[in-house]
Amino acid sequence: MKKFLILLTIFFLQNCSKPKTVLICGDHICINKKEATQYFEENLSIEVKIVDKKKNKQIDLVELNLKENTEENRKITIKKKDMLNKEIKVLSNDEIDKIKEKIKKNDKDKKIANKNFKNESLNKKEKVKKTSIKKNTNNNKEKINVNKSKTKVVDVCTIIEKCSIDEISKYLLDKGKKKKFPDITKRE
C-alpha cells in the first residue's frame, strides 16, 4: 500500500511540473537573463516559447484516414498558425559575444547615468536650500513662496537600479504611501 501511494504521488508531481520554456528576443533565442531583461526594458514585450519534445511535428495522413474509417463521425481538423511557427535565428559564437559585450556596455552606461542623476539631484536640493535661506535672512517682511517649485518629469528607470515592471510598481506604491493627502479645504 505504501509503494502504491508513493508511486501515485510521484505520478501527480510529474504531471504538475512546468514545461520547459525559452525566451525569444526579437528574432533569436535570448542568450541569458540579462539580455532578456534588457530587451524587455527596450520593447516592453518578450515572447515565451514552450519547448515540447513529445509532439510529433509531422502528420501522418495515412493514419488519419485509417482512424477516420474505423471510428464513425469523427472529424479531425488541422490548423496551422503562421505567427507561432516563425523561424528563430540560431546565433553563432561571435554574435553571442557581441551581444554580451553590448549588454555589459549598457549596464555600465546605466550605472553612470544613475550616479550623474543622483549627483545632479543632490546639487539642486542644496541650491534650493541655500537660496531659501538667503531670502529669509535678507528681508523678514518678504512673502515666502508657499507654492512648490515645479519639478521636471523624470524617467523612473533612471532612479531604480532594475527597470522591471515589479520594481517600478514597488517604487510607485512606496512613493504614493509616503505622500500626504491633499488639503482640499485650503484656499489659495
Name the grid cell of 110: 546605466
Helix or strand holding residue 156 (H, E): helix 156-159
- pLDDT the model gives residue 168: 87
- Cell 518578450, located at residue: 46
- pLDDT the model gives residue 143: 59
187 pLDDT higher than 70: yes
pLDDT tens for each residue of 52-98: 766 656 667 777 676 655 555 556 566 655 555 667 888 888 988 99
- In sequence order, the β-bridge partners of residue 29 are 24
- Mention every residue, 6+ apart, whose C-beta is less than 8 A from residue 157: 41, 163, 168
- pLDDT the model gives residue 8: 86
Answer yes or no: pTM beyond 0.85: no
Name the grid cell of 47: 515572447
Name the grid cell of 179: 505622500
Averaged pLDDT for residues 94-121: 85
C-alpha–C-alpha distance, residues 120 and 162, integer Å: 20
Averaged pLDDT for residues 122-128: 68
Least confident range of 6-15, 25-34, 76-85, 114-123: 76-85
- pLDDT the model gives residue 179: 85
Band (pLDDT 50/70/90 cuts) for residue 48 is confident
Long-range contacts of 91-97 (CB under 8 A, 24+ apart): 91/28, 91/29, 91/31, 96/31
User: Nearest Cα to 33, choosing from 53, 48, 17, 50?
Assistant: 48
